[in-house]
């Protein structure tokens, strides 16, 4: 029996299989509002047969958006717009849904990828980014504004408030974005955090904000729903955030009730030395799983069914996340199930698409 297609408990939430569609920014929102694009995109992926669909990084405050086209969840209007999309998806799909809550910090107010990601000025509709310290991501960038302790407290509150909104919308899984060089990662790394107060300096201080945000979100999310954290296991830069510190953070999060760790890498510095390749981040998830005992999701150029099966069957991780591969092939889990002799849940409208040479692919 395929291990990939066995159920998985993310804390109190049981997934039908171990394929997780990882968050993928769509840059299709208008002033933070979900649009019909999100309904179409999420509706398509909700029929993929995956065990969980986590929607894109959703900013908890307007200035936390990566780009002006990012999705947001900070007021009644953004909540209603996202609820409209989610309700349409839920009407025709039983797939569990997750949301990733984040704040871009010094990497905010950038152009969308197909326009080069250059900084969007305030005159162009952008804004002044904030960060733990006035250290820019790139030497060509203007420095961000160093946050006051009150601004830090306000961000913690914003994460919790956004989580309450997401709970009302009906999400099952909540993921806190502390990776890829965005705000919470910026507090973790000594390369971007030069503070001399209780949020900077030693490891415990640099981890403080992530733990405060997790506790605040966990407190407002009902006990029957899951809360986890996405991290970059390493900056890929000497003297930066690394796997040893990631293990320590995972221990600290596990101790306060974190249900899962979603393990990525990089994004904090343009000087990073990380060589992408098949399974290139799996070893990070494997070590965290082994040493901490927390449920882990491995990601990073996982594109083949047998590759994914090997990761979970050998215990390197509890689940795998796919992103670009499922954009390319939105029925990736169907094809994986066919190759591994497993089944996927699909609406009856799709049952007659089962190839003649494959039997019992769809659960009836």
Convert the pLDDT of each residue in 280-293 to its tens digit: 999 999 999 999 99
Question: How many Å apart are CA 348 and CA 118, to the nearest integer?
Answer: 46
Per-position DSSP letters for 327-354, written without gaps between them:
HH-TTHHHHHHHHHT--EE--GGGGGGS
pTM of the entire predicted model: 0.97
Residue 358 in any domain: the answer is yes
Task: Indicate the average pLDDT of the chain.
Answer: 97
Residue 1 in any domain: the answer is no
Q: Kindly list the catalytic residues.
A: 182
pLDDT > 70: percent of the chain: 100
Nearest one of 320, 344, 341 to 19, comparing CA atoms: 320
DSSP H helices in the chain: 36-45, 76-90, 149-169, 183-188, 203-220, 243-255, 282-292, 305-313, 324-328, 332-340
pLDDT at position 139, please?
87
Q: Facing residues of 72 across strands?
A: 59
Question: How many Å apart are CA 80 and CA 158, to the nearest integer?
Answer: 17
The confidence band for 359, taking pLDDT boundaries of 50, 70 and 90, is: confident
pLDDT > 90: percent of the chain: 97
pLDDT exceeds 90 at position 95? yes
pLDDT at position 364, please?
85
Residue 2 in any domain: the answer is no
Per-position DSSP letters for 58-122, written without gaps between them:
EESSGGG-SSTT--B-SSHHHHHHHHHHHHHHHTT----EEEEEE--GGG-SB--GGGT-PBPPG
Residue 13 in any domain: the answer is yes
Which are the contacts of 25, defined by CB distance < 8 A and separation ≥ 6? 56, 57, 66, 70, 71
Which are the contacts of 116, defined by CB distance < 8 A and separation ≥ 6? none
Convert the pLDDT of each residue in 111-150 to its tens digit: 999 999 999 999 999 999 999 999 999 988 899 999 999 9
pLDDT exceeds 90 at position 271? yes
Nearest one of 60, 57, 53, 56 to 89, comparing CA atoms: 53
Average pLDDT for 73-77: 98
Convert the pLDDT of each residue in 318-346 to its tens digit: 999 999 999 999 999 999 999 999 999 99
Residue 126 in any domain: the answer is yes
pLDDT at position 138, please?
92
Average pLDDT for 264-279: 96
Which are the contacts of 5, defined by CB distance < 8 A and separation ≥ 6? 17, 18, 337, 340, 342, 343, 344
Average pLDDT for 237-261: 98
Q: Cα-flanking dihedrals φ and ψ of residue 110, to 5°?
A: -110, 155
Residue 236 in any domain: the answer is yes
The whole-angstrom distance between residue 73's C-alpha and the CA centroid of its chain comes to 15
Please give the residue range of the domain that contains residue 112: 8-363
CATH number of the domain bearing residue 129: 3.20.20.70
Residue 65 in any domain: the answer is yes
DSSP SS3 for 193: coil
Domains: count for the chain: 1
Show the tokens assigned to 15: 């997934």
């Amino acid at each position: 029996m395929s291990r990939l297609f066995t159920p998985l408990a993310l804390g109190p939430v049981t997934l039908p299989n171990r394929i997780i569609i990882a968050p993928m920014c769509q840059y299709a929102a208008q002033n933070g509002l979900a649009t019909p694009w999100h309904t179409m995109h999420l509706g398509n992926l909700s029929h993929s047969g995956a065990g969980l669909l986590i929607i894109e990084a959703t900013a908890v405050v307007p200035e936390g958006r990566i780009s002006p086209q990012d999705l947001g969840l900070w007021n009644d209007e953004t909540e209603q717009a996202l609820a409209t999309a989610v309700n349409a998806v839920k009407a025709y799909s039983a797939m569990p849904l997750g949301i990733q809550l984040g704040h871009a910090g010094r990497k905010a107010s950038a152009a969308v990828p197909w326009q080069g990601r250059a900084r969007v000025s305030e005159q162009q509709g952008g804004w002044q980014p904030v960060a733990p310290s006035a250290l820019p991501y790139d030497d060509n960038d203007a420095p961000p504004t160093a946050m006051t302790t009150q601004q830090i407290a306000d961000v913690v509150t914003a994460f919790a408030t956004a989580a309450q909104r997401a709970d009302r919308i009906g999400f099952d899984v909540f993921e806190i974005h502390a990776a890829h060089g965005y705000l919470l990662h910026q507090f973790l790394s000594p390369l971007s955090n030069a503070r001399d107060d209780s949020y900077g300096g030693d490891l415990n201080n640099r981890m403080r904000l992530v733990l405060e945000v997790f506790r605040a979100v966990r407190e407002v999310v009902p006990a029957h729903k899951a809360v986890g954290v996405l991290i970059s296991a390493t900056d890929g830069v000497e003297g930066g955030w690394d796997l040893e510190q990631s293990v320590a953070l995972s221990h600290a999060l596990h101790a306060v009730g974190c249900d899962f760790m979603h393990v990525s890498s990089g994004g904090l510095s343009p000087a990073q030395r990380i060589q992408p390749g098949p399974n290139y981040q799996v070893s990070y998830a494997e070590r965290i799983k082994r040493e901490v005992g927390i449920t882990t999701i491995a990601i990073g150029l996982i594109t083949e069914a047998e590759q994914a099966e090997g990761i979970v069957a050998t215990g390197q991780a509890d689940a795998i996340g796919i992103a670009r591969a499922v954009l390319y092939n939105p029925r990736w889990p169907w094809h994986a199930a066919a190759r591994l002799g497993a089944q996927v849940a699909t609406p009856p409208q799709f049952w007659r698409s089962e190839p003649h040479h494959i039997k019992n692919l769809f659960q009836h």
